[in-house]
Amino acid sequence: MGGWYRKEIKSVADIKGLKFRVGGFAGKVIERMGGVPQNIPGGEIYQALEKGTIDAAEWIGPYDDQKLGFNKVAPFYYYPGWWEGGPQLDIYINDKAYNSLSAENKAIIECASAFAHVECQAKYDARNPVALKQLVAGKTKVLPFPKDVMDTGFKESMALYDELSAKNPNWKKVYEDYSAFRREQNLWFRFAEASFDRYMQSVKL
């Protein structure tokens, strides 16, 4: 999800000066769009929204957001969270230490990592719809970002990645490989997965 907002976002102009709890790359993009990113720990977001110290905040998604009660202090819940397409678990291991392991222990680490990643996403896929229904029943206003917000976010993201590619050879190497893979995936999803999903989401089940 794209976060909780104290006021409605009607156009990209409403991002200007917006004090938004968001971190990482998303914060850099929001800044390029005229917003003011704030890095606030999860436990302090509710109070900051309640007092008006910040104007908006993103956290995770309906299941986790509901537990922190953001709907009580920010009535507008926007989607999609274009800066984070989905959860991704990672494990980092020193190469030398990993290579010293037996084949069996390497397999255990790989299997446990794959299981943790798949289980995490599966649990959110099951829990988020229930929480979202409860939030809507509690009068949360769930709204899509205006198209100009999406377009500007995309444009500024691409510009940021180009700047990083020009300055950082390691970034450029990884990003070019990732981008080529993403293009192929988008082509496939446009014909198969996305068209099926759009149809199924349009019918009454």
- Look at residue 23 in the predicted model and tell me its pLDDT: 85
Closest CA to 135 of 78, 196, 202: 78
Q: 12 and 146 in contact (C-beta within 8 Å)?
A: yes
Q: Taking the CA atoms of the chain, what radius of gyration do you get in angstroms?
A: 20
Q: Each residue of 70-94: pLDDT tens digit?
A: 999 999 999 999 888 777 788 999 9
Q: Each residue of 12-46: pLDDT tens digit?
A: 999 999 999 998 889 999 999 999 999 999 999 99
- Look at residue 59 in the predicted model and tell me its pLDDT: 94
Sorted by where each starts, the structural domains of the chain and their CATH numbers stand as 3-167 (3.40.190.10)
Question: What CA–CA distance (Å, rounded) separates 77 from 2?
Answer: 7
Closest CA to 2 of 65, 73, 88: 65
Question: What CA–CA distance (Å, rounded) separates 37 from 166?
Answer: 24
For the chain, residues with pLDDT lower than 70 are none
- Look at residue 84 in the predicted model and tell me its pLDDT: 80
**Which SS3 state, helix, strand or coil, does residue 57 take?**
strand
Q: What's the token pair of residue 126?
A: 């099951």
